[in-house]
Amino acid sequence: MFAISPLFVCAALALLRTTSAVGTPFGLAAGTTGGGSATPSVPSSLAQLTTWLSDSTPRVILLESIYDFTSNEGTTTGTICKPWTCSPNPQVAIDANSWCEDDEPSAAKSTATWYKAGTTPLAVASNKTLLGKGSSGGIKGKGLKISGASNIIIQNIQIVDINEEFVWGGDALQIDGGSNIWVDSNYFQNIGRQMVVTGYGAVTKTTFSNNVFNGQSTYSATCNGCHYWTAFFTGNGDQITFALNYLYMTSGRGPHVGGFSGYFQDIHVYNNYFVSIEGNALDPEIGSKILLEGNYFNAVTTPTLTGAGQTYIPTTSAQTAACSSLLGRACVANVLLNSGALLAGTDTGTLNGFTASTYKSASIMAASAVPSYVQAHAGVGIVN
Protein backbone atom coordinates (compact mmCIF):
# COMPACT_ATOMS: atom_id res chain seq x y z
CA MET A 1 0.00 0.00 0.00
CA PHE A 2 1.11 3.54 -0.65
CA ALA A 3 1.10 6.13 2.13
CA ILE A 4 -2.25 7.82 2.59
CA SER A 5 -2.08 11.58 2.95
CA PRO A 6 -4.76 13.58 4.81
CA LEU A 7 -5.94 15.10 1.54
CA PHE A 8 -6.28 11.65 0.05
CA VAL A 9 -8.48 10.62 2.98
CA CYS A 10 -10.77 13.60 2.29
CA ALA A 11 -11.15 12.55 -1.31
CA ALA A 12 -11.70 8.92 -0.35
CA LEU A 13 -14.43 9.83 2.15
CA ALA A 14 -16.16 11.99 -0.42
CA LEU A 15 -16.27 8.99 -2.73
CA LEU A 16 -17.30 6.55 0.00
CA ARG A 17 -20.54 8.50 0.40
CA THR A 18 -21.31 7.31 -3.12
CA THR A 19 -22.42 3.85 -2.12
CA SER A 20 -25.74 3.72 -4.00
CA ALA A 21 -25.90 2.63 -7.61
CA VAL A 22 -24.83 5.91 -9.11
CA GLY A 23 -23.16 7.61 -6.18
CA THR A 24 -22.88 11.30 -5.51
CA PRO A 25 -21.77 13.78 -8.13
CA PHE A 26 -19.11 16.23 -7.00
CA GLY A 27 -17.46 19.33 -8.35
CA LEU A 28 -19.63 21.57 -10.49
CA ALA A 29 -22.15 18.76 -11.19
CA ALA A 30 -23.01 18.42 -7.46
CA GLY A 31 -26.77 18.09 -7.08
CA THR A 32 -27.32 16.31 -10.39
CA THR A 33 -29.88 13.51 -10.01
CA GLY A 34 -30.48 12.28 -13.57
CA GLY A 35 -33.42 9.90 -13.67
CA GLY A 36 -33.59 10.04 -9.88
CA SER A 37 -35.56 7.28 -8.24
CA ALA A 38 -37.06 5.87 -11.44
CA THR A 39 -36.82 2.06 -11.48
CA PRO A 40 -33.71 0.97 -13.42
CA SER A 41 -34.81 -0.67 -16.67
CA VAL A 42 -32.85 -2.57 -19.30
CA PRO A 43 -33.70 -1.65 -22.93
CA SER A 44 -34.68 -4.69 -24.97
CA SER A 45 -33.47 -3.32 -28.31
CA LEU A 46 -31.47 -0.57 -30.00
CA ALA A 47 -34.79 1.12 -30.82
CA GLN A 48 -35.96 1.06 -27.22
CA LEU A 49 -32.66 2.47 -25.98
CA THR A 50 -32.95 5.23 -28.59
CA THR A 51 -36.49 6.11 -27.46
CA TRP A 52 -35.79 5.94 -23.75
CA LEU A 53 -32.80 8.27 -24.06
CA SER A 54 -34.74 10.89 -25.99
CA ASP A 55 -38.28 10.92 -24.57
CA SER A 56 -39.53 13.26 -21.87
CA THR A 57 -39.88 10.65 -19.10
CA PRO A 58 -37.30 10.67 -16.30
CA ARG A 59 -35.50 7.32 -16.58
CA VAL A 60 -32.71 5.21 -15.15
CA ILE A 61 -31.58 3.19 -18.18
CA LEU A 62 -29.45 0.21 -17.24
CA LEU A 63 -27.07 -1.28 -19.80
CA GLU A 64 -25.94 -4.81 -18.99
CA SER A 65 -24.34 -5.46 -22.37
CA ILE A 66 -23.00 -3.65 -25.43
CA TYR A 67 -25.65 -2.13 -27.72
CA ASP A 68 -23.98 -2.42 -31.12
CA PHE A 69 -25.25 0.19 -33.58
CA THR A 70 -22.31 -0.20 -35.98
CA SER A 71 -24.03 -1.63 -39.05
CA ASN A 72 -27.60 -0.86 -38.01
CA GLU A 73 -28.01 1.93 -40.60
CA GLY A 74 -25.77 0.41 -43.25
CA THR A 75 -22.84 2.10 -44.94
CA THR A 76 -22.34 5.07 -47.17
CA THR A 77 -19.64 5.78 -49.75
CA GLY A 78 -18.43 9.32 -50.27
CA THR A 79 -15.56 11.75 -50.60
CA ILE A 80 -12.72 11.81 -48.11
CA CYS A 81 -9.51 13.81 -47.95
CA LYS A 82 -6.11 12.98 -46.55
CA PRO A 83 -4.78 15.94 -44.52
CA TRP A 84 -2.26 13.74 -42.68
CA THR A 85 0.52 12.27 -44.78
CA CYS A 86 2.44 10.59 -41.97
CA SER A 87 2.71 6.82 -41.61
CA PRO A 88 1.66 4.32 -40.53
CA ASN A 89 -2.13 4.41 -40.62
CA PRO A 90 -3.08 8.09 -40.76
CA GLN A 91 -6.73 8.92 -40.17
CA VAL A 92 -8.59 10.32 -43.17
CA ALA A 93 -11.39 12.90 -43.07
CA ILE A 94 -14.91 12.56 -44.37
CA ASP A 95 -15.73 15.63 -46.48
CA ALA A 96 -18.56 16.65 -44.17
CA ASN A 97 -20.00 20.13 -44.76
CA SER A 98 -17.24 20.87 -47.31
CA TRP A 99 -14.62 20.58 -44.59
CA CYS A 100 -11.98 19.32 -47.03
CA GLU A 101 -12.49 22.26 -49.41
CA ASP A 102 -12.69 24.84 -46.62
CA ASP A 103 -10.02 23.62 -44.21
CA GLU A 104 -7.73 21.32 -46.15
CA PRO A 105 -7.88 22.49 -49.78
CA SER A 106 -4.48 21.03 -50.64
CA ALA A 107 -5.19 17.57 -49.21
CA ALA A 108 -5.49 14.67 -51.65
CA LYS A 109 -9.01 13.36 -52.15
CA SER A 110 -10.40 9.90 -52.56
CA THR A 111 -13.54 7.92 -51.85
CA ALA A 112 -14.22 5.57 -48.97
CA THR A 113 -17.01 3.72 -47.22
CA TRP A 114 -18.02 4.20 -43.60
CA TYR A 115 -20.84 3.26 -41.26
CA LYS A 116 -23.72 5.75 -41.26
CA ALA A 117 -24.65 5.06 -37.63
CA GLY A 118 -21.52 6.77 -36.35
CA THR A 119 -22.36 10.10 -37.96
CA THR A 120 -25.71 10.56 -36.17
CA PRO A 121 -25.53 10.38 -32.38
CA LEU A 122 -28.30 9.32 -30.03
CA ALA A 123 -30.15 12.29 -28.52
CA VAL A 124 -30.15 12.40 -24.72
CA ALA A 125 -32.97 14.40 -23.11
CA SER A 126 -33.24 15.85 -19.60
CA ASN A 127 -33.69 13.84 -16.41
CA LYS A 128 -31.92 10.66 -17.54
CA THR A 129 -29.44 8.32 -15.94
CA LEU A 130 -27.59 6.02 -18.35
CA LEU A 131 -25.87 3.48 -16.15
CA GLY A 132 -23.77 0.45 -17.02
CA LYS A 133 -23.75 -2.77 -15.01
CA GLY A 134 -20.36 -4.28 -14.29
CA SER A 135 -17.77 -3.71 -16.98
CA SER A 136 -19.77 -4.82 -20.01
CA GLY A 137 -22.44 -2.14 -20.47
CA GLY A 138 -22.14 0.32 -23.30
CA ILE A 139 -22.71 1.57 -26.80
CA LYS A 140 -20.71 0.66 -29.87
CA GLY A 141 -20.69 2.34 -33.29
CA LYS A 142 -22.66 5.41 -32.25
CA GLY A 143 -22.25 8.23 -29.73
CA LEU A 144 -24.46 10.42 -27.56
CA LYS A 145 -25.56 14.04 -27.99
CA ILE A 146 -26.99 16.38 -25.39
CA SER A 147 -28.46 19.58 -26.84
CA GLY A 148 -29.64 22.11 -24.28
CA ALA A 149 -30.80 19.44 -21.84
CA SER A 150 -30.15 19.25 -18.13
CA ASN A 151 -29.89 16.85 -15.22
CA ILE A 152 -28.17 13.90 -16.88
CA ILE A 153 -25.88 11.20 -15.49
CA ILE A 154 -23.80 9.02 -17.82
CA GLN A 155 -21.94 6.48 -15.74
CA ASN A 156 -20.02 3.24 -16.02
CA ILE A 157 -20.51 2.69 -19.75
CA GLN A 158 -18.16 2.05 -22.65
CA ILE A 159 -18.53 4.17 -25.77
CA VAL A 160 -16.30 2.55 -28.39
CA ASP A 161 -15.60 1.81 -32.04
CA ILE A 162 -17.15 4.70 -33.97
CA ASN A 163 -15.67 4.87 -37.50
CA GLU A 164 -12.24 5.16 -35.92
CA GLU A 165 -10.42 5.61 -39.21
CA PHE A 166 -12.50 8.68 -40.11
CA VAL A 167 -12.37 12.21 -38.74
CA TRP A 168 -16.02 13.39 -38.86
CA GLY A 169 -17.00 9.74 -38.52
CA GLY A 170 -18.57 10.50 -35.15
CA ASP A 171 -17.97 11.76 -31.62
CA ALA A 172 -18.52 9.64 -28.51
CA LEU A 173 -20.19 12.41 -26.48
CA GLN A 174 -21.20 15.86 -27.75
CA ILE A 175 -22.80 18.47 -25.50
CA ASP A 176 -24.15 21.64 -27.14
CA GLY A 177 -25.54 23.56 -24.20
CA GLY A 178 -26.65 21.93 -20.99
CA SER A 179 -26.30 21.93 -17.23
CA ASN A 180 -26.14 19.53 -14.31
CA ILE A 181 -24.38 16.81 -16.28
CA TRP A 182 -22.21 14.16 -14.61
CA VAL A 183 -20.07 12.00 -16.89
CA ASP A 184 -18.41 9.51 -14.56
CA SER A 185 -16.51 6.24 -14.70
CA ASN A 186 -16.88 5.70 -18.44
CA TYR A 187 -14.47 4.23 -21.00
CA PHE A 188 -13.78 5.75 -24.42
CA GLN A 189 -11.72 4.15 -27.21
CA ASN A 190 -11.51 3.98 -31.01
CA ILE A 191 -13.52 7.07 -31.90
CA GLY A 192 -13.32 8.89 -35.25
CA ARG A 193 -13.44 12.39 -33.88
CA GLN A 194 -13.85 13.64 -30.30
CA MET A 195 -14.12 11.39 -27.30
CA VAL A 196 -15.90 14.29 -25.59
CA VAL A 197 -16.73 17.75 -26.95
CA THR A 198 -18.73 20.78 -25.84
CA GLY A 199 -19.98 23.69 -27.91
CA TYR A 200 -21.28 25.96 -28.95
CA GLY A 201 -23.88 26.54 -26.20
CA ALA A 202 -22.69 26.88 -22.59
CA VAL A 203 -22.15 23.67 -20.67
CA THR A 204 -22.33 24.46 -16.96
CA LYS A 205 -22.56 22.59 -13.65
CA THR A 206 -20.84 19.69 -15.38
CA THR A 207 -18.24 17.21 -14.12
CA PHE A 208 -16.20 14.69 -16.09
CA SER A 209 -14.73 12.30 -13.50
CA ASN A 210 -13.09 8.89 -13.25
CA ASN A 211 -13.27 8.33 -17.01
CA VAL A 212 -10.71 6.38 -19.03
CA PHE A 213 -9.73 8.04 -22.30
CA ASN A 214 -7.82 5.21 -23.95
CA GLY A 215 -6.15 6.70 -27.01
CA GLN A 216 -4.48 3.50 -28.15
CA SER A 217 -5.67 3.06 -31.72
CA THR A 218 -4.68 1.70 -35.11
CA TYR A 219 -5.53 4.91 -36.98
CA SER A 220 -4.28 8.26 -35.74
CA ALA A 221 -3.96 11.81 -37.04
CA THR A 222 -0.45 11.69 -35.56
CA CYS A 223 0.40 8.20 -36.91
CA ASN A 224 1.80 7.03 -33.58
CA GLY A 225 -1.00 4.77 -32.41
CA CYS A 226 -2.26 7.57 -30.15
CA HIS A 227 -5.64 9.28 -30.62
CA TYR A 228 -5.43 13.06 -31.12
CA TRP A 229 -9.07 14.13 -30.56
CA THR A 230 -9.53 13.54 -26.83
CA ALA A 231 -11.51 16.31 -25.09
CA PHE A 232 -12.51 19.72 -26.52
CA PHE A 233 -14.33 22.28 -24.36
CA THR A 234 -15.40 25.22 -26.47
CA GLY A 235 -18.93 26.20 -25.43
CA ASN A 236 -19.67 29.86 -24.84
CA GLY A 237 -19.61 29.96 -21.04
CA ASP A 238 -18.55 26.41 -20.21
CA GLN A 239 -17.88 25.80 -16.53
CA ILE A 240 -16.58 22.26 -16.10
CA THR A 241 -14.82 20.13 -13.49
CA PHE A 242 -12.43 17.60 -15.09
CA ALA A 243 -11.09 15.39 -12.31
CA LEU A 244 -9.67 11.94 -11.59
CA ASN A 245 -9.63 10.96 -15.26
CA TYR A 246 -7.10 8.62 -16.85
CA LEU A 247 -5.72 9.81 -20.19
CA TYR A 248 -3.62 7.09 -21.77
CA MET A 249 -1.82 7.07 -25.12
CA THR A 250 -3.56 10.14 -26.47
CA SER A 251 -1.65 12.66 -28.61
CA GLY A 252 -3.67 15.89 -28.41
CA ARG A 253 -6.59 17.83 -26.96
CA GLY A 254 -6.10 16.58 -23.43
CA PRO A 255 -8.08 18.80 -23.12
CA HIS A 256 -8.24 21.54 -25.76
CA VAL A 257 -10.11 24.50 -24.27
CA GLY A 258 -11.36 27.64 -26.01
CA GLY A 259 -10.52 28.88 -29.46
CA PHE A 260 -13.50 31.05 -30.38
CA SER A 261 -13.03 34.77 -29.92
CA GLY A 262 -15.71 36.18 -27.61
CA TYR A 263 -16.44 32.86 -25.92
CA PHE A 264 -15.12 32.01 -22.48
CA GLN A 265 -14.63 28.85 -20.44
CA ASP A 266 -13.58 28.11 -16.85
CA ILE A 267 -12.22 24.58 -16.55
CA HIS A 268 -10.92 23.08 -13.29
CA VAL A 269 -8.59 20.19 -14.10
CA TYR A 270 -7.45 18.24 -11.04
CA ASN A 271 -6.09 14.87 -9.98
CA ASN A 272 -5.97 13.48 -13.50
CA TYR A 273 -3.37 10.90 -14.50
CA PHE A 274 -1.78 11.60 -17.88
CA VAL A 275 0.28 8.65 -19.11
CA SER A 276 2.26 7.95 -22.26
CA ILE A 277 1.02 10.98 -24.16
CA GLU A 278 3.06 11.18 -27.38
CA GLY A 279 1.96 14.69 -28.20
CA ASN A 280 0.26 17.33 -26.08
CA ALA A 281 -2.05 17.21 -23.11
CA LEU A 282 -3.47 20.71 -22.45
CA ASP A 283 -4.15 22.96 -25.45
CA PRO A 284 -5.26 26.32 -23.98
CA GLU A 285 -6.80 28.64 -26.54
CA ILE A 286 -8.41 32.06 -26.59
CA GLY A 287 -11.20 32.66 -24.09
CA SER A 288 -10.20 29.96 -21.64
CA LYS A 289 -9.22 30.09 -17.99
CA ILE A 290 -7.85 26.72 -16.88
CA LEU A 291 -6.64 25.81 -13.39
CA LEU A 292 -4.65 22.57 -13.18
CA GLU A 293 -3.86 21.20 -9.73
CA GLY A 294 -2.70 17.90 -8.33
CA ASN A 295 -2.35 16.29 -11.75
CA TYR A 296 0.34 13.71 -12.50
CA PHE A 297 2.04 13.78 -15.88
CA ASN A 298 3.96 10.57 -16.61
CA ALA A 299 5.81 10.36 -19.92
CA VAL A 300 3.96 13.25 -21.53
CA THR A 301 5.87 14.81 -24.42
CA THR A 302 4.21 18.23 -24.10
CA PRO A 303 2.16 18.69 -20.91
CA THR A 304 0.79 21.98 -22.18
CA LEU A 305 1.06 23.88 -25.41
CA THR A 306 1.44 27.61 -25.29
CA GLY A 307 -1.67 29.35 -26.48
CA ALA A 308 -3.91 32.36 -26.01
CA GLY A 309 -5.74 30.79 -23.05
CA GLN A 310 -5.01 31.72 -19.43
CA THR A 311 -3.55 28.88 -17.40
CA TYR A 312 -2.33 28.33 -13.86
CA ILE A 313 -0.36 25.10 -13.36
CA PRO A 314 1.50 25.32 -10.05
CA THR A 315 4.51 23.06 -9.43
CA THR A 316 6.34 24.96 -6.66
CA SER A 317 5.35 25.88 -3.13
CA ALA A 318 5.44 29.57 -4.00
CA GLN A 319 3.03 28.88 -6.87
CA THR A 320 0.64 26.79 -4.77
CA ALA A 321 0.66 29.45 -2.04
CA ALA A 322 -0.27 32.14 -4.56
CA CYS A 323 -3.78 30.62 -4.80
CA SER A 324 -4.60 31.50 -1.21
CA SER A 325 -5.69 35.08 -1.66
CA LEU A 326 -8.42 34.24 -4.20
CA LEU A 327 -9.29 30.61 -3.36
CA GLY A 328 -8.88 30.81 0.41
CA ARG A 329 -6.60 27.77 0.22
CA ALA A 330 -3.31 26.81 -1.34
CA CYS A 331 -3.50 25.03 -4.66
CA VAL A 332 -2.10 21.50 -4.96
CA ALA A 333 1.12 21.12 -6.93
CA ASN A 334 1.22 19.20 -10.20
CA VAL A 335 3.94 16.57 -10.70
CA LEU A 336 5.81 15.82 -13.93
CA LEU A 337 7.80 12.61 -14.40
CA ASN A 338 9.80 11.88 -17.55
CA SER A 339 7.80 14.62 -19.24
CA GLY A 340 8.49 17.79 -21.19
CA ALA A 341 8.62 21.21 -19.61
CA LEU A 342 5.52 23.28 -18.94
CA LEU A 343 5.32 25.92 -21.66
CA ALA A 344 2.56 27.85 -19.90
CA GLY A 345 0.80 27.96 -16.56
CA THR A 346 2.02 30.85 -14.42
CA ASP A 347 -0.72 33.42 -15.10
CA THR A 348 -2.25 34.19 -11.69
CA GLY A 349 -5.00 36.16 -13.47
CA THR A 350 -6.42 32.72 -14.29
CA LEU A 351 -7.45 32.36 -10.65
CA ASN A 352 -10.14 35.04 -11.03
CA GLY A 353 -12.24 32.37 -12.73
CA PHE A 354 -12.10 30.03 -9.73
CA THR A 355 -13.42 31.98 -6.74
CA ALA A 356 -16.76 30.14 -6.42
CA SER A 357 -17.24 27.91 -3.39
CA THR A 358 -17.06 24.70 -5.47
CA TYR A 359 -13.45 25.45 -6.30
CA LYS A 360 -12.55 26.63 -2.81
CA SER A 361 -13.90 23.50 -1.15
CA ALA A 362 -12.73 20.92 -3.70
CA SER A 363 -11.09 17.83 -2.12
CA ILE A 364 -7.85 17.45 -3.99
CA MET A 365 -5.34 14.73 -3.19
CA ALA A 366 -1.59 15.14 -3.49
CA ALA A 367 -0.43 14.44 -7.05
CA SER A 368 1.84 11.68 -5.72
CA ALA A 369 -1.27 9.64 -4.80
CA VAL A 370 -2.93 10.09 -8.20
CA PRO A 371 -1.33 7.27 -10.24
CA SER A 372 -2.39 4.52 -7.81
CA TYR A 373 -5.78 6.05 -7.12
CA VAL A 374 -6.77 6.66 -10.73
CA GLN A 375 -5.57 3.27 -11.95
CA ALA A 376 -7.70 1.60 -9.27
CA HIS A 377 -10.83 3.73 -9.75
CA ALA A 378 -11.17 5.05 -13.30
CA GLY A 379 -13.27 3.36 -15.94
CA VAL A 380 -16.01 0.74 -15.97
CA GLY A 381 -16.64 -2.10 -13.54
CA ILE A 382 -15.86 -0.21 -10.34
CA VAL A 383 -18.93 1.74 -9.24
CA ASN A 384 -21.77 -0.61 -10.25
Ligand X SMILES: *[C@@H]1O[C@H](CO)[C@@H](O)[C@H](O)[C@H]1NC(C)=O
Residue type at 268 in one-letter notation = H
In the complex, the smallest distance separating the C-beta of residue 127 from ligand X, rounded to whole angstroms, is 4
The yes or no reply on residue 311 touching ligand X (CB under 6 A) is no
In the complex, the smallest distance separating the C-beta of residue 151 from ligand X, rounded to whole angstroms, is 6
Q: Which residue number, 50 or 368, has a Cβ lying nearer to ligand X?
A: 50
In the complex, the smallest distance separating the C-beta of residue 349 from ligand X, rounded to whole angstroms, is 38
193 as an active site residue: the answer is no
Q: Is 266 left (phi over 0), alpha (psi -120 to 50) or beta?
A: beta
Q: Which residue number, 29 or 374, has a Cβ lying nearer to ligand X?
A: 29
d(CA 55, CA 73): 21
Instruction: Tell how far CA 304 is from the center of its chain.
Output: 17
Between 165 and 204, how does the x/- string for binding to ligand X read (CB under 6 A)? ----------------------------------------
Grouping H, G, I as helix, E, B as strand and the rest as coil, residue 52 is helix
In the complex, the smallest distance separating the C-beta of residue 145 from ligand X, rounded to whole angstroms, is 15
Q: Which residue number, 146 or 364, has a Cβ lying nearer to ligand X?
A: 146
Determine if the peptide bond prior to 255 is cis (ω within 30°). yes
Residue choice 37, 56, 98, 106 for contact with ligand X (CB under 6 A) = 56
Nearest to 125 by CA among 66, 215, 61: 61
Per rule CB under 6 A, count of chain residues that contact ligand X: 5
Grouping H, G, I as helix, E, B as strand and the rest as coil, residue 256 is strand
**Catalytic entry in 17, 59, 193, 253:** 253
Which DSSP letter does residue 5 get?
A: P
In the complex, the smallest distance separating the C-beta of residue 294 from ligand X, rounded to whole angstroms, is 34
User: Cβ(130)–Cβ(93) under 8 Å?
Assistant: no
d(CA 287, CA 285): 6
User: Cβ(210)–Cβ(237) under 8 Å?
Assistant: no
Q: Which residues pair with 68 in a beta bridge?
A: 140
The yes or no reply on residue 54 touching ligand X (CB under 6 A) is no
The yes or no reply on residue 126 touching ligand X (CB under 6 A) is yes
The yes or no reply on residue 151 touching ligand X (CB under 6 A) is yes
Q: Which residue number, 37 or 87, has a Cβ lying nearer to ligand X?
A: 37
The yes or no reply on residue 127 touching ligand X (CB under 6 A) is yes
Q: Which residues bind ligand X (CB under 6 A)?
A: 56, 58, 126-127, 151
- State the catalytic residues: 253
